[in-house]
Structure 1
Amino acid sequence: MGSGHMPIGRRELAKQAKRERIMTAARELFTEHGVGGVTTQQIADRADVAIGTLYLYASTKAELLIMVQNEKFAAAIDVGLAAADAVDKQGVLEPVVALIRPVVECVREHVENGRTYLHELVFGDPVEPYRHEGLALAGRLEDGITGLLTHDDHIEAADAATQARVITAIIHLSTTATVYLHRSDEAVIADIRDQIHATLAPHHRAA
């Protein structure tokens, strides 16, 4: 008997190869020049595809950026979840910081790209497939923070999800606000840590 898997046809393989070339070209050009310094035609040229072909995979430059950043965002969440799991669980602050550290570094790797990515996720069409995927990743991060907060005996389970939303808002503001752009990653993470500590403190004082 067969394995039950249908072999991938030549057309599908060709489509996958083109998508990968487009992704690679967009990733390289966005890293080199920032999203504002790149055109879709430049991406198509580097990927060696016609501009019409590129638009079959992403209809705008913003969608191309979201495609690229989604991959980075997903990888950062994976790294953060593993790091949080490895931290001594005496308290939730340090595991939460361990989770968000690679996410902050991902967003700030190229500040223009990171800021544009988050802006597109928040203000773009949520049903557009790549934005929908990005929002699902944001939800995964929030769920990860929620799970860590439930280990704190002073935080009610019903409050953990709300607290996680507050923390993700802190991350968003601290990584995108113009006033913070000159800071190093370590300074931003330290400031986020202090803000998270302050949001958790009332729960401990009330206990």
Structure 2
Amino acid sequence: MRLKRERIFRAASDLMRERGFSAVTTQEVSARAGVAAGTLFRYAATKSELLLMVYNEVLRSSIAEGAEHAASTPEPAAAIVARLSPLVAAAAREPENSAAYQRELLFGPHNAKFRAEGMALIFELEASLADTLRRAAPALSDEEARVAGSALFAITHLAIARMSASDIPEIDAINDLRLQVTQIVTGVVHYTPGGRIGR
């Protein structure tokens, strides 16, 4: 079973990278993987589920790369940019597939296995961003840190969406991300209870 899943994963990954999500069919994936269509659907019930299965691994790898870069970056805004930049870089390599992946994460069926897996990765990333903010601003409540962590992922999501929608170069998307992260982190670090910005 594991070998069949790996063959399906590799076939779907290669075909989507070569031709883009919209041009690939499940029949082509099953043929390249050397499995029957019914077997493929036991692992991923739809083409969208195949996309989620493949790009969850891209997301997981990008998150791990960002964590590695951030570990040696003490300044909080720079550490968060280091965590998020690999997500933008990965999306820039395959903008059509990245846009489709984001769409499926946001709007796909709630009971889909691979969508739930992808959302869990995002929630873990947001929690790690909240932890970074909490260390930089110890007075921040758990809820305030959670909301700020979600905002940081939201601007990353928009940076990725803008690249696929309007051909913004990766370097510009990352520079915009850096500016927005710095603004959010500066606001959070100088935030005082009651909603006032400290001096």
Q: Which residue of 2 aligns with 1:39?
A: 25
Once the two structures are superposed, residues 154-201 of structure 1 have per-residue CA deviations (whole angstroms, 9 ceiling, x without a partner) of 761332111111111111111113686422222101101111222233
Summarize the alignment of residues 58-73 of structure 1 with structure 2, pairs less than 5 Å apart: 58-73=44-59
Gaps of 5+ in 1: 1-14
Does residue 202 in structure 1 map to residue 187 in structure 2? yes
Q: Which residue of 1 aligns with 2:83?
A: 99
Structure of greater relative contact order (alpha carbons < 8 Å, 6+ residues apart): 2
Once the two structures are superposed, residues 51-88 of structure 1 have per-residue CA deviations (whole angstroms, 9 ceiling, x without a partner) of 1111111111000010000111111111111110111x
Checking the alignment, whether the CA contact within 8 Å between 2:66 and 2:83 is kept in structure 1 is yes
Q: Which residue of 1 aligns with 2:157?
A: 172
| Partner Cα separation in structure 2 for residue 189 and residue 119 of structure 1 | 21
Change in Cα spacing, 1:96 to 1:180, as seen in structure 2 (3 Å) is farther
Bigger radius of gyration among the two: 1
Change in Cα spacing, 1:145 to 1:35, as seen in structure 2 (3 Å) is same
**How many residue pairs are counted as aligned between the two chains?**
191
Checking the alignment, whether the CA contact within 8 Å between 2:163 and 2:173 is kept in structure 1 is no
Q: Which residue of 1 aligns with 2:193?
A: none
Structure 1 outlier segments of 4+, above 6 Å: none
Change in Cα spacing, 1:109 to 1:178, as seen in structure 2 (3 Å) is closer
Does residue 149 in structure 1 map to residue 133 in structure 2? yes
User: What is the aligned counterpart of 1:126 among 110, 119, 127?
Assistant: 110
| Partner Cα separation in structure 2 for residue 41 and residue 141 of structure 1 | 34
Q: Which residue of 1 aligns with 2:94?
A: 110
Q: Which amino acid aligns with 1:177?
A: R
Change in Cα spacing, 1:182 to 1:79, as seen in structure 2 (3 Å) is same
Q: Which residue of 1 aligns with 2:169?
A: 184
Checking the alignment, whether the CA contact within 8 Å between 1:174 and 1:180 is kept in structure 2 is no
Q: 3-state SS of the aligned residue for 2:135?
A: coil
Q: Which residue of 2 aligns with 1:4?
A: none
Give aligned-pair identity as a percent. Answer: 34
| Partner Cα separation in structure 2 for residue 193 and residue 105 of structure 1 | 13
Deviates more, 1:192-201 or 1:61-70: 192-201
User: What is the aligned counterpart of 2:119 among 132, 135, 156?
Assistant: 135
Deviates more, 1:16-25 or 1:157-166: 157-166
| Partner Cα separation in structure 1 for residue 165 and residue 58 of structure 2 | 22
Q: 3-state SS of the aligned residue for 1:150?
A: helix
| Partner Cα separation in structure 2 for residue 126 and residue 74 of structure 1 | 20
Q: Which residue of 2 aligns with 1:11?
A: none
Q: 3-state SS of the aligned residue for 1:145?
A: helix
Checking the alignment, whether the CA contact within 8 Å between 2:26 and 2:37 is kept in structure 1 is yes
Deviates more, 1:151-160 or 1:25-34: 151-160
Q: Which residue of 2 aligns with 1:19?
A: 5
